[in-house]
Amino acid sequence: MSLIARLIPLLQERNQIKCSRCGLYYDKNRSQCPHCRDMDETRLQAFLEESGIDPNAKSGLGQFLVLAAVVVVVIFLLSKFIR
């Protein structure tokens, strides 16, 4: 995948807001989320279960990078003390 193809979603995200109800992104120019604005809580839950969306999910990549950084620092510090 080219670099430009990877950057396009990132550039599009800058003009979007993440909905606090459904977790999907929508345009900043809109006043409400078009995905869930007309849904009551029951329909919203059914929609989220059907689509497999978890609005409270955390980024797995971010957590992985923090863990990887901690491991690298520990290895670096251990290598300094072992010598």
* Stated pTM of the model: 0.49
Give the pLDDT confidence of 41-83 residue by residue, as tens digits: 999 888 888 888 776 666 677 788 889 999 999 999 988 888 6
33, with CB counted inside 10 A (0-12, 13-18, 19+), is buried
Give the pLDDT confidence of 6-49 residue by residue, as tens digits: 666 665 657 888 888 888 888 888 889 998 999 999 998 888 88
Neighbouring C-beta atoms of residue 55, cutoff 10 Å: 14
